[in-house]
Amino acid sequence: MKLGCLSFLCLVFTCTAWAQKATIRTCDQPLICVTEKDSVYSLCVKVIIPAGHCPITNYTISWGDGRKDEFTQTLDYSKDNEITRTHTYSLGEFTRSCGTGVDYNLELRTDNACQPPVDTDIFPITFKSSPRAQFSVPDICQENAVRIGNTSCPSRNEMTYKWDFGDGGTSTDIYPTHIFSSSQDAYKVTLSATNSCGTTTTTHTISTRKTPLAQIRPNGVKIMDGDTLVCLENGGILTLDGTVSLGSSRYQWQISGGAYTLVQNTSLTSSVLRVQLKELTSYQFTLVALNDCATSSPRTIRVRTVAKPELTIQHQPSVCTPIRYRIPNPNPNARYFVNGQPLSAGQERELGFSPQPYIITAELPYACGTYAPKPDTFYVREVRSLKILSPSRDTSLCLGTKLLPLTTSETWGNWQGEASLLSQQSGKTYFNPKTAGTYPYRYVLGEGECRTEVSVTLTVLTAPESATFTPSVREGCTPLNVTFQPQATQRPGFTSEWSFGSVSTSNEHAPSTRLENTTTDRRRFLITHTLKNTCGTKRDTLTIVVKPLPKAGIGVDSTSIRCAPARFLFSNLSVGKAGASVWKFGDGTPEVHSSDDTVAHVYASRDQLQTYTITLTAKNECGANEATAQVKVSPSTAKPLFSMSESVVCPGAPVQFTDATVPVATRWLWRFGNEGTSTEQNPTFAFQKPATAYIITLVAVTPCGTDSTQKRIQTSIRPQASFSVDSLACIGQPVRLVNTSDLTQTQLTGFLWDLGNGTLDSAQVSPQLSYASGGTKTVKLTVFGTPRSCASLTLQRTIQVREAPKAAFSVGETFCSSMPVKLTNASVGATDYQWYLDGALVSTGEHPEVAIPSGVHQLSLKAAYLSVCSDSTTEATAVQMDSCWVGVPEAFTPDGVGPSTGERMTVFGNKLEKVKLFRVLNRWGNTVFENKDFTPNDRELGWNGKDSQGNAMPADLYLYELIYTYGNRENEPNRKAGTFYLLRNK
């Protein structure tokens, strides 16, 4: 009984919690009043969740304007909860149209943790326009009824109105009619408009109207001599103001006399008329002023248009020499100026060289002011070298880049070319690269004979527009030849870069390439074309599909070498094949066409290992491909065979053994007598014992059998080489090589000499030779035994070969009987010497002195180098031994009579070559005279008996000193000293 009650209570609680819904309401009233200023409106709402509500997991508010607000929030559901949210509505269109109202439904959706899981609530809201009181009143004519226009909003059936006409009268009509008395000049009319959003009031002051008076106030005219003038040079714009009329609310204009255009959105009914006069003539303007009660009399104004006078300054060309300038064809009413200085008509002025231009200006007064025609500018400058500084050469620019300054070394000329691309800024000229193309420009300086010019070409480039291209083929079999054609035409300055996958590249405009697929699947090649210039880059790609050739492959079961008869099972491992493959087994049997994965074939072999080549051809739409494999079939028997490089061999020399077993063996066992074994197929072995016979055994194992065979080999004795030779030799002299090898050995088969001069000799046992050049010569001897390959070790010796000595000598021409003869040795390359006089050895010195008696003798010299190389020379010499002496007189008298009177004291002698020194000293040892290096026997070179100052020396005993040489002994001076008397007659 208690349990049932508990269940009932739970049920009641559940139902109660569900009955309490979550609701949504506005924070204020659901009716929302807005004005024309409320283009947006922020609305506040409250979400109300009563206590006991089951937990809410998500909230969604639909605002009615297509937007939603989704959120979650954790609450305490044991009490009432409120959640405040705001939303901004866009009401611009509604408030501009002053609509009656707009309705929205606020919808709240909650996702609950109870059943049902979704709960909703809807709350309507309305936006309504606040009243706007507006009206218009026509002119009030005296004692006439006036209907007032009501333009209030919103819609009038929701509005109430109250009018106060300012004269005590009122009304609640929408469009009231009222008669105003003429007792006042103006009335204040007030309108109050009311709806559920409130009341607004507006007031207008309305004047009573009488007959209007038209008046015109002109602007943009000049008054001269009673004329109203309009200057066409200022645009011919005339403004006529009709608002100065009295009692006018409307206007009507008439224009006559010439062509015109109404400007600034004015018309012939505007209060202010703005008109542009087109012709040089007189115009008449008439204004009629109107109001709702009457029309004025016409008001007329006349104006005359004035054009600027005709005046031009005739151009003076720039010149390169000073000139006398005067105004050509001057206007007598005009004033002229040269660089601001007046110049009368007919007056001349000297114009010299100037870096600045001469500017001729003029002024001509007329009705509208002073007219100044276009000045004339020219230069008087020397002609100098002209060049363009910027750019210094022909230049390319990208479209739309910054302005390029054009500067020159001289600035008084002008640029000629496409003028639309040139602009002036701060007195400088700039090129604007705004249009693609090639533009030649010239800078011209001076005119006529003074004219000079330079030119430059400017090219404006566009960036590449597209790099798209078309291939000659998009898909095909390997190898695939493809040509690519770009959409863009080939132009200077544009560069193409092509990438053909990872295969190759090209810089041609429309290249061709060969694409190869070596795989077994279809291969895709990504082709990339990059088109660029200095202004930009474009890139495009596409894919070329290259289909592969078939790839043939053969598989062989088990081993590829078998004994006859042999059955093989071959597998077809080809990929990319289509249809039947072709098998050729290489044994002359017919080819087999088969689509099977395997084929079998039997091979035979008779007496040798046979190799068979199997060929498999696989095909598909792109072609065919072959694969080969080899199998070997061996006979069931073995025939061991081998050969030797030598049958007689030198001890220690390697012998090559070559297997020739049929069929080819797979294993080998060699026995070389008792000296060794080998398991190689073709071993090398050296036998060490001389004069010994060996038995060679080969055991050969083939895949299908085993057998053995034997052969005999004999070793010989290795010879020894020996020879002797002198270690020194001279060029051109004989050298003997003595062979001292043991020639008694019967197994010798020959000798080989290397003579060290590039010559080999195998014919002579002990050859003799001579060398034509010097240096170290290496002589080698090799002795050959049996077999010839059994040779001795090569023995070598060196010989130093040098130049042979050259014997030469000389003998002096003068010989003194009291001295030995000195022999001068001129030999070259010798170390030992032997001198022979009439066949008898007289000396072994290098430069000896030999006593030779007078007469004719045969003198010989033998010169040798280390007693090995020698040379000799003989000279028949007539030796005349002379008496050689030197002397000084014992006395001389320079100023007296006698044998030496008036003479000089000098040196006399026989075979004297030269007196190196002759010095005279007085008894006190003072030198009174000295002479050097003079010829003897010449008195003019002697002493005259005076000192160095020319004073005569006294008679006395004087000393002398001599240094002298004989004819062939100039380098061996002799010395002598003595006395003599100087005698005088007075």
Q: What is the pLDDT of residues 591-620, one digit of tens each?
A: 999 989 999 999 887 777 788 999 999 998
**Six token digits for residue 943:** 């002493």
Amino acid letter, residue 920: V
Task: Give the pLDDT score at 17.
Answer: 41
Read off the DSSP letter of residue 318: P
Share of the chain above pLDDT 90, in %: 34
606/289: higher pLDDT:
289
Which amino acid does the sequence have at 823?
A: L
Question: What band does 416 get if pLDDT is binned at 50, 70 and 90?
Answer: very high
Class of the domain covering 642-715: mainly beta
Chain centroid to Cα 861, Å, comes to 83
Q: Is the pLDDT of residue 579 over 60?
A: yes
* pLDDT at site 7: 34
**Strand 299-306 versus strand 227-231 pairing type:** parallel
Instruction: Give tens-digit pLDDT for 181-220.
Output: 766 778 899 999 998 888 999 998 887 777 889 999 998 8
Q: Residue 462 above 70 pLDDT? A: yes
Specify the pLDDT at position 649. Answer: 87
> Token digits for 334?
């005009």
Q: Check if 554-634 and 723-802 are the same fold.
A: yes
Higher pLDDT, 761 or 325: 325
For domain 723-802, give the CATH number.
Answer: 2.60.40.10
Distance from C-alpha of 831 to C-alpha of 834, rounded to nearest angstrom: 11
**The pair of three-digit structure tokens given for residue 297, joined into one six-digit string:** 């009399």
Mean pLDDT, residues 951-969 taken together:
85
pLDDT in tens, 738-773: 888 887 765 778 888 998 888 888 888 889 988 888
Q: Is residue 978's pLDDT more than 80?
A: yes
| pLDDT at 9 > cutoff 80 | no
For the chain, the average pLDDT equals: 85
Catalogue the E-assigned strands of 757-900. Answer: 760-761, 768-769, 775-784, 795-802, 809-811, 815-816, 821-825, 832-837, 840-843, 849-850, 855-865, 869-879, 881-882, 885-887, 891-892
Q: pLDDT grade, residue 18 (50/70/90)? A: very low
Which CATH code fits 135-209? 2.60.40.10
At residue 658 the predicted structure's pLDDT band, cuts being 50, 70 and 90, is very high
What's the CA gap between 461 and 812, in Å, rounded? 100
Cα–Cα distance list, 313 to 324, 327, 338, 365, 750 (Å): 17, 8, 12, 16, 124
CA count, 13 A, side-chain hemisphere, 744:
0
Name the phi and psi angles at 789, rounded to 5.
-65, -15
User: Residues 33-56: what's their mean pLDDT?
Assistant: 87
The pLDDT of residue 325 is above 90: yes
Query: Higher model confidence: residue 341 or residue 732?
Result: 341
With CA atoms as reference, report the closest residue to 58 among 136, 110, 131. 110
Q: What is the arithmetic mean of pLDDT over 398-413? A: 90
pLDDT band at residue 11 under the 50/70/90 scheme: very low
Which pLDDT does position 13 carry in this prediction?
Answer: 36
Q: Which of 663, 613, 610 is nearest to 633 (CA)?
A: 610
What whole-number distance in Å separates Cα of residue 398 and Cα of residue 535? 5
Tell me: pLDDT of 948 over 70: yes
456-481 average pLDDT score: 92
Q: What is the SS3 string spanning 155-202?
A: CHHHCEEEEECCCCCEECCCCCEEECCCCCCEEEEEEEEEECCEEEEE
From the centroid of its chain, how far is CA 304? 74
The answer, yes or no, to whether residue 337 has pLDDT greater than 60, is yes
- Count of positions (residues) in the chain: 986
Rounded CA-CA distance 527/512 in Å is 12
Strand-pair category, 186-195 with 198-209: antiparallel
List 730's β-bridge partners, or say none: 802
Domain 217-306: give its CATH superfamily.
Answer: Immunoglobulins (2.60.40.10)
825 within 8 A of 833, measured Cβ to Cβ: yes
At position 351, the amino acid (one-letter code) is: L
∠ Cα 63 64 68 (to 5°): 40
State yes or no: pLDDT of 844 exceeds 90.
Answer: no
DSSP 3-state of 645:
coil
Q: Name the band, by pLDDT with cuts 50, 70 and 90, for residue 301.
A: very high
How high is the pLDDT of residue 6?
31
Average pLDDT over residues 561-589: 87
Residue 938, number of CB atoms within 10 A of its CB: 13
Is residue 809 within 8 A of residue 830, CB to CB? The reply is no
pLDDT in tens, 919-946: 999 988 888 999 888 888 887 888 888 8
Whole-angstrom distance, CA of residue 257 vs CA of residue 34: 57
Answer for the pair 816, 882: CB distance below 8 angstroms, yes or no: yes
Task: Choose the CATH number for 388-461 among 3.40.640.10, 2.60.40.10, 3.40.50.300, 2.60.120.1440.
Answer: 2.60.40.10
Return the CATH architecture of domain 20-129. Sandwich (2.60)
| 336 vs 562: which has the higher pLDDT | 336
Model confidence at 900, pLDDT cuts 50, 70, 90, reads very low
Q: What is the pTM of this model?
A: 0.33
Q: What one-character DSSP code corresponds to residue 868?
A: T
Contact predicate 605/635, CB 8 Å: yes
Does the pLDDT value for residue 870 go beyond 80? no
Q: Which CATH superfamily is domain 469-547 in?
A: Immunoglobulins (2.60.40.10)
Comparing 831 with 199, the larger pLDDT belongs to 199
- Residues 65 and 120: beta-carbon distance below 8 Å: no
User: Which run of H or E residues covers position 108?
Assistant: strand 101-112
Strand-pairing partners, residue 442, are 416, 455
The domains of the chain are located at 20-129, 135-209, 217-306, 323-378, 388-461, 469-547, 554-634, 642-715, 723-802, 809-881, 884-982
Question: Where does the pLDDT of residue 854 fall: very low under 50, low under 70, confident under 90, or very high at 90 and above?
Answer: low
5-14, 510-519, 573-582, 744-753: which has the minimum mean pLDDT? 5-14
Quote the CATH superfamily of domain 809-881.
Answer: Immunoglobulins (2.60.40.10)
Task: Assess whether pLDDT exceeds 90 at residue 679.
Answer: yes
Ramachandran area for residue 10 (φ above 0: left; ψ -120 to 50: alpha; else beta): alpha
pLDDT in tens, 140-193: 776 678 888 888 888 766 789 999 988 888 999 888 988 877 667 788 999 999
The CATH number of domain 884-982, selected from 1.20.1530, 1.10.540, 1.10.357, 2.60.40: 2.60.40
What confidence score (pLDDT) does residue 2 get?
A: 36
Report whether 759 contacts 716 (CB < 8 A).
no
Percent of the residues in the chain that have a pLDDT greater than 70, as a whole number: 93
**What is the average per-residue pLDDT within 114-126?**
81
Higher-confidence residue of 299 and 232: namely 299
Q: How confident is the model over 704-716, as pLDDT tens digits?
A: 888 899 999 988 8
Gap between the Cα atoms of 353 and 381, Å rounded: 5
Query: Could you say which DSSP state residue 449 is in?
Result: G
Domain 554-634 in CATH 2.60.40.10: yes
Contact between residue 389 and residue 407 where contact means Cβ atoms under 8 Å apart? yes
pLDDT band at 876 (very low <50, low <70, confident <90, very high): low
pLDDT value, residue 639: 87
Taken in order 650, 651, 652, 658, the sign of the CA dihedral is: positive
pLDDT band at 981 (very low <50, low <70, confident <90, very high): confident
Whether 544 and 515 have beta carbons less than 8 Å apart is answered as yes
**pLDDT digit string, tens, across residues 131-142:** 988 988 777 776
Average pLDDT over residues 831-847: 84
Bond prior to 116 in cis (omega within 30° of 0): yes
Measured over the CA atoms of residue 272, residue 278, residue 280 and residue 283, the dihedral's sign is negative
Tell me what pLDDT residue 153 has.
86
Q: In this model, does residue 580 exceed pLDDT 80? A: yes
